[in-house]
Each structure stands twice: as structure tokens, then as C-alpha cells.
């Protein structure tokens, strides 16, 4: 029983003192933790966790505005020979020239590009002669409702059409009397542009005159008297 008696009043006072010491220590730790949070908040400009918001928003925004992959620029190829053959606006004379030159090779040049602002590429077809590759007809076909429609044609040989920076450029050679097929006297270069009304209009034309000296046979020697 002495043990119990000895642990009475004196032990109670010591236990109370120990509890006071632990409470003071906990209080000191809490104060230090609060002070650390306060200093951290001051170091971030007083905004605390709100400073993380804009950074997160920017990363999401950047991901959402990534540019989409560019569509393929490769145009759908068409059967240009059949296109001309089935075209009722093409003259019978041009269709007669539309025959194979060697094997199954036809004298046809085909170009694809945007001339009319349609949903598909326009098709420019030049029909040539087999022997000397003289252009006998030039045509532009525009895709409308799943079908290609003829929206331009020139059948005044020699003629050749091509796409130049969104414009249709037609070259027509001029022959004077006595000019060989290989040596025209001049050429007209005519630029056409597509109108919103649904047709091509001539923008401007130039004439280039060729020298009669250029292209002569260099083996020929002038006659002397």
C-alpha cells in the first residue's frame, strides 16, 4: 500500500507538470507550422494555391488549339480521255485526234488545280496531235454534284491551256503565211479568271512576236555571188 500512497499527491503534481510541458511543445510546433505557411504565402505574392490556376488553364488551352492535320493535297485523278469523249460540246474533229499514238498512250495533257473555287480540284485537259504535238483543243472541267461539267473550251489550234497561280492561262500561236509548224510568227498569252457568276472572263492578253532568224538551220550558209 506504500506504493500507492507514495504515488498520491506528489506524483499527481509531477504528471500535471509533464502535461503542461507537452502542451507547450505542441503549441510551439503549431505556431511554427502556421508561420511557415504564412511565409510561403508571402513568397508567392499572397495568392497561395490560386497561382496554380492560370498555369493549368494555359496548358489545357494550348492542347485545345493544336492545328489539325493538313488534308492531302493529292487530287483525285480522272479519266481525261473518257471525259472528252463523253463531252457533247467537244467537236468531232478534236475527238478524231483523240486516238492512241503508241500502244495505249493518248496525246492528252492533264492538269489539276483550283480555278473555280469548287469543293474539288478543276481539271484542265489539252488534246494534242500525235505527230507534232500541236494543241487542237483545251478544256476546263469543274466538278458539280458529283459530275464534271465543261466550263471552258478553245478549239482554235494551235492552243494550250495551263494553271498559273489560280488563273487559267491560254497560249495561242500565230502562224503567218509560209510559217512551218515548228516556227510560228507570234503567240498570244491570254489570262482568264473565274467569276462568281459562274464563268471565265478574260483579264488581259499579251502578244509575243518571234524573230524569224531564231530557229533557222545553223548548217545553212548564205549564198555568195
Beta strand pairing status for 147-154 and 135-144?
antiparallel
Burial 101-123 (b: 16+ CB within 10 A, else e): eeeeebbbbebbbebbeeebbbb
Distance of CA 87 to the CA centre of its chain: 31
pLDDT tens, position by position, 29-84: 454 545 444 444 444 444 443 333 333 333 333 434 444 443 345 567 899 999 99
Q: What is the pLDDT of residue 121?
A: 95
The residues facing 168 across adjacent strands are 163, 192
Residue in 77, 124, 82, 87 with CA at minimum distance from that of residue 106: 82
pLDDT tens, position by position, 160-178: 999 999 999 999 999 888 8
For the chain, give the percent of residues with pLDDT over 90.
Answer: 51
Amino acid at each position: 500500500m506504500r506504493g500507492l500512497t507514495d504515488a498520491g499527491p506528489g506524483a499527481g503534481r509531477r504528471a500535471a507538470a509533464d502535461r503542461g510541458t507537452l502542451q507547450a511543445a505542441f503549441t510551439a510546433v503549431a505556431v511554427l507550422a502556421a508561420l511557415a505557411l504564412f511565409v510561403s504565402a508571402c513568397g508567392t505574392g499572397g495568392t497561395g494555391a490560386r497561382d496554380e490556376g492560370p498555369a493549368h488553364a494555359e496548358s489545357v488551352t494550348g492542347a485545345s488549339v493544336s492545328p489539325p492535320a493538313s488534308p492531302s493535297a493529292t487530287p483525285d485523278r480522272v479519266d481525261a480521255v473518257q471525259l472528252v469523249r463523253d463531252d457533247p460540246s467537244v467537236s468531232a474533229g478534236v475527238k478524231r485526234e483523240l486516238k492512241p499514238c503508241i500502244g495505249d498512250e493518248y496525246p492528252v495533257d492533264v492538269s489539276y488545280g483550283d480555278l473555280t473555287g469548287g469543293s474539288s480540284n478543276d481539271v484542265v485537259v489539252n488534246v494534242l496531235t500525235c505527230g507534232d504535238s500541236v494543241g487542237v483543243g483545251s478544256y476546263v472541267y469543274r466538278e458539280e454534284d458529283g459530275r464534271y461539267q465543261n466550263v471552258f473550251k478553245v478549239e482554235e489550234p494551235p492552243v494550250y491551256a495551263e494553271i498559273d497561280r489560280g488563273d487559267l492561262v491560254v497560249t495561242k500561236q500565230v502562224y503567218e503565211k509560209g510559217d512551218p509548224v515548228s516556227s510560228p510568227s507570234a503567240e498570244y498569252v491570254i489570262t482568264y479568271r473565274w467569276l462568281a457568276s459562274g464563268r471565265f472572263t478574260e483579264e488581259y492578253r499579251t502578244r509575243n512576236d518571234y524573230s524569224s532568224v531564231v530557229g533557222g538551220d545553223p548548217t545553212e550558209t548564205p549564198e555568195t555571188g
